[in-house]
């Protein structure tokens, strides 16, 4: 069964009614945390006991704030960052972020930080701030030890993050780490 939703939609009664009739064991959702929370609230309202799985678009405080008990241990998503990621780089970043903003960093903050640091490193190695010059250094990036894990650029220049984390909402903890999954580049 496949259903679609519209951006900024807030009423998911029809989609959840169809879902209830289909009786699936899991819901794969490729949208964002706000709609995910509202879908799970509607599922709870209609008595649909289902687990939602999705990507890093579900990584947002509003998932927990809007969804409450309807999302607790019912929504599982993957992301390239977890505050539970033990590394000196991550620990230092989290402490500095909390001191400056008085809140925990999310995946986007960590990835933005890593992106800036990766570009700065490429500029230093190329001894140039000209993108035409330093882009060659970016292409060579292997196992950059960032705050969101290691980053490698594949031959097609797609980034590979390692590890990837499976996360959920558990009590007051968001996100709560379920599992750390190592990744590796495909063999050439």
pLDDT digit string, tens, across residues 31-69:
999 999 999 999 999 999 999 999 989 998 889 999 999
Q: What is the per-residue pLDDT for 188? A: 52
Q: What is the per-residue pLDDT for 164? A: 86
Q: What is the per-residue pLDDT for 116? A: 96
Going from the N-terminus, what domains does the chain have, and what CATH number goes with each? Answer: 13-80+163-181 (3.40.50.2300), 88-161 (3.40.50.2300)
- pLDDT tens, residue by residue, 119-135: 999 999 999 999 999 99
Structure-derived torsion over alpha carbons of residues 144, 115, 91, 32, reported in degrees to the nearest 10: -120
Q: What is the per-residue pLDDT for 87? A: 82
Q: What is the per-residue pLDDT for 187? A: 54
Ranges in the chain, pLDDT < 70? 184-188
Q: Please tell me the distance from the alpha carbon of residue 20 to that of residue 49, in angstroms, as a whole number.
A: 9
């Amino acid at each position: 069964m496949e259903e679609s939703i519209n951006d900024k939609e807030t009423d998911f009664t029809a989609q959840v009614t169809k879902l209830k009739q289909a009786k699936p064991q899991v819901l794969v959702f490729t949208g964002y945390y706000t709609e995910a929370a509202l879908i799970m609230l509607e599922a709870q309202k209609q008595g649909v006991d289902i687990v939602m799985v999705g990507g890093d678009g579900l990584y947002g405080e509003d998932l927990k704030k809007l969804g409450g008990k309807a999302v607790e241990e019912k929504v599982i998503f993957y992301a390239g960052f977890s505050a539970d990621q033990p590394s000196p780089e991550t620990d230092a970043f989290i402490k500095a972020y909390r001191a400056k903003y008085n809140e925990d960093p999310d995946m986007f903050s960590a990835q933005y930080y890593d992106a800036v640091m990766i570009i700065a490193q490429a500029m230093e190695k190329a001894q140039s701030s000209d993108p035409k010059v330093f882009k060659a250094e970016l292409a060579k990036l292997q196992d950059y030890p960032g705050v969101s894990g290691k980053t490698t650029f594949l031959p097609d220049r797609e980034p590979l993050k390692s590890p990837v984390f499976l996360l959920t909402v558990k009590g007051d903890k968001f996100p709560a780490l379920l599992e750390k999954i190592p990744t590796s580049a495909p063999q050439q």
